[in-house]
Every structure is written in structure tokens, then in C-alpha cells.
């Protein structure tokens, strides 16, 4: 039997849309030759043979001589278009002609440069816009904690459009607003029925004794109305240190406040009862105790424990304490159930980021701020009190004007 080339009897229908399968035929010398041909056209899995049979080869002579060949009936299976076919299809639809790769490369090269310069601005090396990197530097200089800085820079990335990041004054104002909103301020509670009882706790040397006298003086000035002179007393549990008691007496004497020692648990209730209900306020100074001195802490708690009265207890911390120490102090004094802190010695720091960061992290509000050794150097703070101390913010001084609207979130 003379060999003849494989013929596709039904050419043109090998790729059917929509999964429709059209029966096709192919002829060859034998079944093996037909399968081989189908494999080369459609791949191993691209066709399915439905039937095969020996048939007479076409042509009169072939019939006369009885020449036969194999005829295979098959369908082409649905398969994804090749990349080239897909591309061609799209080009057919859009009516465009294909761009040669070399040319495409050239075009991309020009755009590529532009794209890179944009990306470099958005994400140079460490992934930040230069304005964000600059702000991070300023926050670091002001000794904000890593966590706080990260929070601010992530907000900048997320919330500020690229165009706004180019405007330095806007970036600085936005960041100051956000820092201000992190600073919580606590107003002293309204006292329904006197006396007002205030207790200061905190480490040694932060300024508790100085501050208790300041608070008493402030209270008297505030409450002085007309002929009425509020009755204010000061008590201290720090009386066994002679020098400490003398220090307090000396300061309180100048202002005319009587000072009392509280040495046993019944002493404070006794001081409160001295004026037969006429006492307006009692300010209690305490001694700094070591966080591991559990006995000392327990003894002090029993000294300041007053039946039926929950005192206003403030934890006193110095503004220049480093972040890790601040966290420890905030934790160690938790058993005194303080509701806010008094930040002392704000005048001694030009980098208040640490205290702002940790108080924000622990969600602790500030009730008062002290700014020097003199009795008047105590303030009802606002977020601005802290923001004003920050270095390197390139912003008009009017931002820090106290008469400006309060910073959102700082209540």
C-alpha cells in the first residue's frame, strides 16, 4: 500500500467556541500515523478519537487496486488560547496592530524612568516619603517612643494624599493635631460635699511635697470668694524624716496652711474631724516607696485609707523620666488607684515625647502640670501645654496660642 500524507478531511474546525465539539475526520496510513498527526496538531490531551475504520483511499486507481487507509473520527477538546492567539484576538477586537516587542521595550523604558522616580519618592529604600522620614526624625529628636512614631507615620501614609505630603506646614500641623489628640486631660471632679481630699503618690524626688503645697494654694485662690476664706489643711505621711517634714512645714507656713503628721491609720480621719464639718479641703503628701517594698506600700495605703471617702489620688511623675521607667512607675502605683497623673518639672525638659507617648499608650490622663519651684508654677494643662515644648516643628506660633480652638480629642 503506497503511503500517502495525512489529510485533515475537515480542516478549519479545530478550535470551537463555547466548548461545542464538532466531529472531524483524519486519514493516514494506519491508526498510529493518525494519532501521531493528531498529537502534533492538538497536543497529547487536545483531541478525542471517537471511531476509526479502514476505508478505500480516494481516487479511481486506488479503488481499482483496492488501496485502503485508516480513517479516524475525532473531536478537538476545548483548550485555552495561546498567548499569541489571545493577543491577536484582542488586537482584532480593538482594531490595533501589534506593537513589536523592541518598540514596546523602548516605550516602557521612558515610562519606566518616570515610574521609578515616582516610586522612589513614595518609597525610597525604607518605604517612606521623604516628608514622613523627616517627621520621624523630628519625633525621635523629641524622644517619642518607637511605637508612637510608627503610629504617626502609618497614619500619614494612610490618610495624607501624596500632594499634601509635599506641603511641610500642613504635614507639621496635621502631626501636631494628632499628637494633641493623644494627650488626655482630666478635669478635677466637682465635689458635691466637702471636704475635698487630694492624695499625691509617686517616686521620691519628683516634686510631691512641692506640688501638694502648690495645689493647696491654688485651691484656696480658686475658692476664695468675698469674705469666705476656705479652710485648707495639709497632712503628710512623710513625717519620720525630719528634714522632709520641716521642708513641708516651711513651704506651707509661708502660705499659712496648718500641717499635720499622719503616723497611724486613725490620724487622717481625726484631722478631717477637727473642724466639725467646716474643713473644705485636705491635701495629703506621701513618701515615695520602692515598687518592691510591699510592706511599705501596704502601710502607706492603710495610712491614707479614709472610711467613706474616696480621695482624688494623683500619681506624680517627672516630665523628664525616660519611657521605660515611666511605664514601670505607672504600673507599680496602680494599687493606689490613681485616676490621672500630675506631670512635674515640665520646665526641665525640652523633649516631652517620652511622657506624651507613654501616657497615650497607657491611656492615662493628665490633671496638672508643674513648671518650676515657685508656688504659682502649676497649670491646668491643655494639649497645647505639651505641644508648645516640642522642638523643630516648622509652624507659626499662632498654632500654640491658647485662645485657639482646642485640639480635637483632648478633653
Ligand X SMILES: Nc1nc2c(ncn2[C@@H]2O[C@H](COP(=O)(O)OP(=O)(O)O)[C@@H](O)[C@H]2O)c(=O)[nH]1
Query: From CA 40, how far away is CA 36, in angstroms rounded?
Result: 6
Among 24, 57, 145, 209, binds Mg ion (CB under 5 A): 209
Closest residue to Mg ion, judged by C-beta, is 209
Q: Does 205 bind ligand X (CB under 6 A)?
A: yes
- 209 in Cβ contact with 238 (< 8 Å): yes
Distance of alpha carbon 304 from alpha carbon 311, whole angstroms: 9
| b/e burial code for range 189-210 (CB count within 10 A of at least 16 → b) | eeeeeebbbbbbbbbeebbbbb
Asked if 344 interacts with ligand X (CB under 6 A), we say yes
Candidate ranges 47-55, 206-214, 302-310, 395-403; the one touching ligand X (CB under 6 A): 206-214
Q: By CB under 6 A, tell whether 296 contacts ligand X.
A: no
Contacting ligand X (CB under 6 A), which of 27, 196, 233, 345?
345
> Of the two residues 24 and 370, which places its CB atom closer to ligand X in the complex?
370
Q: Does residue 210 interact with ligand X by CB under 6 A?
A: yes
Element (H, E) at 318: strand 312-318
Q: Please work out the total of residues on this chain that contact ligand X, with binding judged by CB under 6 A.
A: 17
CA pair distance 124, 127, nearest whole angstrom: 5
Residue 373 binds to ligand X (criterion: CB under 6 A): yes
Q: Which does 348 bind (CB under 5 to 8 A by kind): Mg ion, ligand X, none?
A: ligand X
Q: How many residues bind Mg ion (CB under 5 A)?
A: 2
In whole angstroms, the minimum distance from the beta carbon of 342 to ligand X comes to: 10
Q: How far is the CB of 203 from ligand X (least distance, A)?
A: 7
Nearest distance from C-beta of residue 320 to ligand X, angstroms: 10
The CB-of-204 to ligand X minimum distance in angstroms stands at: 5
Q: Where are the alpha helices (DSSP H) in 43-193?
A: 60-65, 83-94, 101-122, 130-141, 146-159, 162-165, 168-182
State yes or no: residue 313 binds ligand X (CB under 6 A).
no
Q: Which three cell numbers stand for residue 96?
A: 490595533
What are the residues whose beta carbons fall under 8 Å from the beta carbon of 374, sequence distance 6 or more?
A: none
- Judged by beta carbon, residue 129 or residue 214, the one nearer ligand X is 214
Task: Yes or no: say if 406 and 246 are a contact pair by the CB < 8 Å rule.
Answer: no
Amino acid at each position: 500500500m503506497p503511503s500517502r500524507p495525512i489529510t485533515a478531511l475537515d480542516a478549519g474546525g479545530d478550535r470551537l467556541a463555547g466548548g461545542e465539539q464538532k466531529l472531524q475526520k483524519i486519514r493516514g496510513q494506519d491508526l498510529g500515523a493518525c494519532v501521531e498527526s493528531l498529537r502534533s496538531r492538538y497536543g497529547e490531551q487536545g483531541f478525542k478519537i471517537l471511531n476509526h475504520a479502514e476505508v478505500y483511499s480516494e481516487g479511481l486507481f486506488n479503488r481499482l487496486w483496492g488501496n485502503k487507509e485508516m480513517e479516524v473520527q475525532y473531536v478537538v477538546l476545548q483548550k485555552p488560547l495561546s498567548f499569541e492567539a489571545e493577543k491577536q484576538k484582542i488586537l482584532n477586537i480593538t482594531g490595533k496592530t501589534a506593537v513589536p516587542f523592541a518598540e514596546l521595550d523602548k516605550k516602557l523604558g521612558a515610562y519606566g524612568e518616570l515610574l521609578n522616580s515616582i516610586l522612589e519618592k513614595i518609597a525610597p529604600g525604607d518605604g517612606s516619603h521623604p516628608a514622613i522620614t523627616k517627621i520621624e526624625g523630628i519625633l525621635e529628636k523629641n524622644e517619642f517612643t518607637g511605637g508612637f512614631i510608627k503610629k504617626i507615620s502609618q497614619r500619614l501614609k494612610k490618610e495624607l494624599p501624596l500632594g499634601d505630603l509635599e506641603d511641610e506646614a500642613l504635614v507639621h500641623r496635621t502631626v501636631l493635631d494628632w499628637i494633641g489628640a493623644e494627650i488626655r486631660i482630666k478635669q478635677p471632679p466637682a465635689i458635691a460635699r466637702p471636704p475635698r481630699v487630694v492624695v499625691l503618690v509617686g517616686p521620691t524626688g519628683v516634686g510631691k511635697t512641692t506640688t501638694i503645697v502648690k495645689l493647696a494654694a491654688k485651691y484656696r485662690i480658686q475658692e476664695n470668694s468675698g469674705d469666705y476664706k476656705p479652710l485648707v489643711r495639709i497632712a503628710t505621711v512623710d513625717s519620720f524624716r525630719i528634714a522632709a517634714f520641716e521642708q513641708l512645714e516651711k513651704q506651707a507656713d509661708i502660705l499659712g496652711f496648718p500641717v499635720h503628721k499622719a503616723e497611724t491609720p486613725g490620724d487622717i480621719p481625726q484631722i478631717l474631724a477637727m473642724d466639725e464639718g467646716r474643713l473644705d479641703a485636705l491635701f495629703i503628701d506621701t513618701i515615695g516607696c520602692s515598687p518592691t517594698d510591699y510592706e511599705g506600700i501596704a502601710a502607706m495605703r492603710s495610712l491614707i485609707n479614709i472610711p467613706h471617702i474616696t480621695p482624688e489620688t494623683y500619681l506624680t511623675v517627672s516630665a523628664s523620666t525616660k519611657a521605660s521607667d515611666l511605664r514601670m512607675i505607672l504600673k507599680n502605683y496602680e494599687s493606689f488607684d490613681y485616676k490621672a497623673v500630675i506631670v512635674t518639672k515640665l520646665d526641665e525638659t525640652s523633649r516631652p515625647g517620652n511622657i506624651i507617648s507613654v501616657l497615650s499608650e497607657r491611656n492615662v490622663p493628665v490633671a496638672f502640670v508643674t513648671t518650676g519651684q515657685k508656688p504659682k508654677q502649676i497649670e491646668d494643662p491643655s494639649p497645647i501645654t505639651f505641644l508648645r515644648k516640642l522642638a523643630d516643628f516648622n509652624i507659626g506660633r499662632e498654632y500654640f496660642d491658647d485662645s485657639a480652638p482646642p485640639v480635637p480629642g483632648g478633653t
